[in-house]
Amino acid sequence: MKVTICIGSSCHIKGARSVVEQLQELVSQNHLDDKVELCGSFCMGKCQQGVCITVDNEFYSVSPENVKDFFNEHIAACTAEVI
Amino acid sequence: MNELCADIGYKSINHYGEQLCGDHVDIVKQDDGSCVVVLADGLGSGVKASILSTLTSKIISTMIAENLPIEDCVSTIAATLPVDSKRGVAYSTFTIIHLKKNGSAELIQFDNPHVILIRNGDSTEYPKTELNIDGKKIYRSDIVLKENDVFIAMSDGCPHAGIGTAYNFGWRREDIAQYMEGLVSVGYTAKTLSTMLINECYTLYGEKPGDDATSCVIKIRKREPMNILFGPPANRDDCDRMMSLFFSKEGKHIICGGTTSSIAAKWLKKPLKTNLSFERSDIPPTAEIEGIDLVTEGVITLNRVIEYAKDHIAENKLYEEWEYYNNGAALISRMLFEEATDINFYVGKAINPAHQHMDLPINYSIKMKIVQELTECLKKMGKSIKVSYF
């Protein structure tokens, strides 16, 4: 699973850094390092909806406050299915 | 001075408790590429010394730049300087470094510690001729400039640092030369080299300088072009033109901005790889495109570069931050402040529609202000700047 986080200017201001760090933490806590690939991207062209994240090309809007819910719902749950 | 150019920087500290510095550095650059640098140290400290040294450096730099003989400068100063009521003399020492367009330097020194010349990494002695003008012993030298020559001019506050505390006789000129030899090879800017020398003096004085201390460093170096791309063009159809102009230029290439780097990557038909490491800083991570020397985010990164640039031309307190960190802003700062001498800006005036609707500190006018402020700072560092808008 490929999770891409926008680290462009406006997502950065909206807390991309915190989102990235929380996701890195959550992925390693849940031992998903070999299933989930986190990567960065510059502007995805949807700055108003930042912080912009895509999970295997599916678009999501995330904030530092709801990143944990996002992780449980869209990353942890989906990787469980794959198993 | 055609293929060579000079990076000039200086830094002073004041006598403990004084608000004004009694040393003064004046730099006059001329259109033909020649340059006159004068470091003057006025008698005493405080207001009186400051007036003496400011007058002296200003008069000399102006007169030498007009090719008037040194004898006239000395007599003009003697006739102009106000006479000290206590000591009954009008006095200011000076060092003149005149970089000529034929690629030589004329040194004229009166009563300041002699200029240190570091050539090929070693401090080198140079011949001096003694002149006697109005009873003043003045030393003149002519030196043919070589790439990587570093001249270090000082006021006597530098060798006097640490007298009686750290060293019996102060920080001797030979020791200063040796200290600087080690730093010169690293590639620091002239400003940072002079800052390091002065910071060391400050420490030797126990943070309470007993005299004003100033050092002025001149680095002779090769011209180094650098190109920086910032923002997509206002009109999409101009992308090709902007990219081909940018990439055809000699020198290193820096790209700032998310959309901008995507456009460049597409044009080069190379992938854009973003890093996710934030280094202990709040600057967005950098990215990579094969063939590009540096790819960074735009507005936030460049705002930090401006902060560093403003500090570098003034107090130079933050240099350790950009000198040793590896975030986008630090990397750009090192390339622009240290490496580059001629910088071409390619600025796209596109308005990012997504940015305009939000309460974000990013918009069109801020982008333009960034370019304006950054180029102003770089000009003050002595860089030649060209800006093209698209």
Q: A81: pLDDT confidence band, cut at 50, 70 and 90?
A: low
Q: Chain B partners of A46 at a C-beta cutoff of 8 Å?
A: 354
Distance from CA of A77 to the nearest CA of B (A): 24
Q: Within a 10 A sphere around the Cβ of B369, how many other Cβ atoms?
A: 13
Q: Is the pLDDT of residue B363 over 90?
A: no
Domain boundaries in chain B? 4-222, 225-389
Q: State how far the alpha carbon of B35 is from the alpha carbons of B11, B24, B173, B313, in Å.
A: 19, 17, 25, 19
CB hemisphere CA count around B141 (13 angstroms): 19
- pLDDT of B355 reads 66
Which of the pair, B288 or B170, is modelled with greater confidence? B288
In degrees and rounded to multiples of 5, residue B25 shows phi and psi of: -115, 130
Q: Do A10 and B355 touch (CB under 8 A)?
A: yes
Q: Do A7 and B285 touch (CB under 8 A)?
A: yes
Q: Chain A partners of B285 at a C-beta cutoff of 8 Å?
A: 7, 40
| Digit-coded pLDDT (tens) for B25-62 | 999 988 888 899 999 999 888 888 999 999 999 999 99
Strand order in the sheet with B287-289: A58-61, A52-55, A2-6, A37-41, B272-274, B287-289, B294-296, B252-256, B225-230, B342-347, B384-389
Tell me the mean pLDDT in the region B169-182: 92
Measured between CA atoms, the residue of chain A closest to residue B301 is A9
The one-letter amino acid code at B282 reads D
Tell me the mean pLDDT in the region B252-273: 94
In degrees and rounded to multiples of 5, residue B18 shows phi and psi of: -95, 145
In degrees and rounded to multiples of 5, residue A32 shows phi and psi of: -110, 15
Q: Chain A partners of B354 at a C-beta cutoff of 8 Å?
A: 10, 45-48
**B361 in reach of chain A (CB within 8 A):** yes
The separation between the first and the last C-alpha atoms of chain B, rounded to the nearest angstrom, is 33
Domain boundaries in chain A? 2-82
CB pairs under 8 A between A and B: 72
| Digit-coded pLDDT (tens) for B205-219 | 999 998 999 999 999
- pLDDT of B2 reads 60
Report d(CA B365, CA B258) in Å as an integer.
18
- The DSSP output letter for B156 is T
Q: Chain B partners of A48 at a C-beta cutoff of 8 Å?
A: 354, 357-358
Asked if B257 and B230 count as a contact pair (C-beta separation under 8 A), the reply is: yes
Report d(CA B227, CA B252) in Å as an integer.
6
Could you please state the CATH topology (level 3) that the domain comprising A2-82 is classified under.
Answer: Glutaredoxin (3.40.30)
Distance from CA of A22 to the nearest CA of B (A): 12
- pLDDT of B163 reads 84
Strand order in the sheet with B116-119: B4-13, B213-222, B150-154, B116-119, B122-124
Q: Do A40 and B285 touch (CB under 8 A)?
A: yes
Asked if B364 and B351 count as a contact pair (C-beta separation under 8 A), the reply is: yes
Q: State how far the alpha carbon of B387 is from the alpha carbons of B207, B241, B261, B339, B375, in Å.
A: 43, 15, 19, 18, 8
Percent of chain B scored above 70 by pLDDT? 95
Report d(CA B130, CA B141) in Å as an integer.
9
Give the 3-state secondary structure percentages of chain A, helix then strand then coil, rounded to 5.
45, 20, 35
Nearest Cα residue to B56 out of B18, B26, B19: B26
Q: Do A7 and B274 touch (CB under 8 A)?
A: yes
The interface pTM score, or ipTM, of the predicted complex is: 0.73
Write the residue in B261, B299, B362 that is nearest to A42 by C-beta: B261
Asked if B12 and B213 count as a contact pair (C-beta separation under 8 A), the reply is: yes
Average pLDDT of chain B to the nearest whole number: 91
Q: B161: pLDDT confidence band, cut at 50, 70 and 90?
A: very high
Residue B53: in which H helix or E strand, if any?
helix B46-65
Q: For B4-222, CATH number?
A: 3.60.40.10
**B281 in reach of chain A (CB within 8 A):** no
| pTM listed for this prediction | 0.85
Chain A residues touching chain B at CB-CB below 8 Å: 5, 7-10, 12-13, 16-17, 20-21, 24, 38-43, 45-48
Q: Chain A partners of B274 at a C-beta cutoff of 8 Å?
A: 7, 39-42
Token pair 């060092």: residue: B95
Q: B165: pLDDT confidence band, cut at 50, 70 and 90?
A: confident
